[in-house]
Amino acid sequence: MNDREKRDFEAGLNAEIDAFLRGENTRRSFIKKFGLMTGLLATAGSNVLSPWAENALAQAAIDLADPSSPLGKAQTAAMKASTEGPADGSAFRAVAAAKKHGGITINMTYEAGLQALDPRNYSGPVWEQLTGIKSNVVELSNPDQYSKAVAEHIAASGAYDVLDISPAWTPSMADGGVIAPLDDYIAKYMNPADLEDYHPLYKALPTYKGKIWGFFDDGDMFALYYRKDIFEDPKLKDAYQAKFSKALGPPKTWEDYSQVAQFITDNLAPKVYGAGHFRKAGSPGNQFDFLQQFRANGGVLFGDDMKAGLNSDAGMKTLTNMQAANKASIPGNNELDAVSLWAAFLQGKVAMIYSWPPTGRMCANYSQSAKAINFIPQSTIAGKVGYAVVPGNPEHATGYNKALSADSPNAEAAYLFMQWATSPPVSLARVMLPYALRDPYRLSHYKSDLYGALFPSAKEYLINLNNSANVGLLDIIMPGAQDYFLSLDRLCTSVWAGTDPKAALATAAAEWDQTTERLGVDSQKAFYEEFKKLPGSSADHTVEKMGMAVKLD
Which pLDDT belongs to residue 436?
A: 85
Gap between the Cα atoms of 217 and 441, Å rounded = 7
Assigned domain for 159 exists: yes
* Contact status, residue 467 vs residue 459, Cβ threshold 8 Å: no
pLDDT tens digits for 441-499? 999 999 999 999 999 999 999 999 999 999 999 999 999 999 999 999 999 999 999 99
Rounded to an integer, the average pLDDT of 67-95 is: 98
Q: List all residues 6 or more positions away from 80 whose beta carbon is below 8 Å from its beta carbon.
A: 425
**3-state per-residue secondary structure call for 303-345:** CCCCCECCCCHHHHHHHHHHHHHHHCECCCHHHCCHHHHHHHH
Total domains, the chain: 2
Tell me, yes or no, whether 334 lies in a domain: no
pLDDT at 14 over 80: no
Closest C-alpha among 181, 182, 142 to residue 397: 142
Amino acid at 79: M
Query: Would you state the pLDDT for residue 31?
Result: 37
- The reply to whether 506 falls in a domain is no
pLDDT at position 541 is 98
**d(C-alpha 291, C-alpha 168), whole Å:** 14
Query: Percentage of the chain with pLDDT > 70?
Result: 89
Q: What is the pTM of this model?
A: 0.91
pLDDT at 63: 83
Which are the contacts of 528, defined by CB distance < 8 A and separation ≥ 6? 301, 302, 306, 478
Rounded to whole angstroms, the Cα distance separating 210 from 247 reads 48
| Parent domain of 34 | 3-38
In a domain, 444, yes or no: no
Question: Do 96 and 190 sit in the same domain of this protein?
Answer: yes
The pLDDT score that the predictor gives to residue 61 is: 56
Residue 15 lies in a domain: yes
Kindly state whether residues 130 and 216 are assigned to the same domain: yes
Task: Report CA dihedral (204, 76, 71, 371) to the nearest 10 degrees.
Answer: -110
Please list the residues that pair with 405 across neighbouring strands. Answer: 179
pLDDT-derived band at 283, boundaries 50, 70, 90: confident
For strands 215-216 and 134-140, give the pairing: unpaired
Residue type, position 103, single letter: G
Which CATH number fits the domain that encloses residue 408? 3.40.190.10
Domain boundary among 439, 467, 500: 439
Residue 326 domain-assigned (yes or no):
no
What's the pLDDT score for residue 284? 87
Are residues 164 and 207 located together in one domain of the fold?
yes
298-349 pLDDT per residue, tens:
999 999 999 999 999 999 999 999 999 999 999 999 999 999 999 999 999 9
The predicted structure's pLDDT at residue 62: 81
Residue 8 shares a structural domain with residue 102? no
Confidence band for 12, pLDDT divided at 50, 70 and 90? low
Within a domain: 96: yes
Q: Is residue 537 part of a domain?
A: no
Is a pLDDT exceeding 70 seen at residue 292? Answer: yes
What is the average per-residue pLDDT within 134-141? 97
Residues paired with residue 208 on neighbouring β-strands, in sequence order: 211
pLDDT grade for 162, boundaries at 50, 70 and 90: very high
Assess contact for 474 and 536: CB atoms under 8 A: yes
Give the residue-averaged pLDDT of 542-547: 98
Exposure b/e, 160-182, CB count within 10 A at least 16 = b = bbbbbbbbbbbbbbbbbebbbbb
Alpha carbon separation from 130 to 79, 90, 133, 161, 261 (Å, rounded): 9, 14, 8, 19, 52
**Residue 39 reports pLDDT greater than 60:** no
Phi, psi dihedrals of residue 201, rounded to the nearest 5°: -65, -35
Q: Does 214 lie in the same domain as 76?
A: yes
Same domain flag for 77 and 208: yes
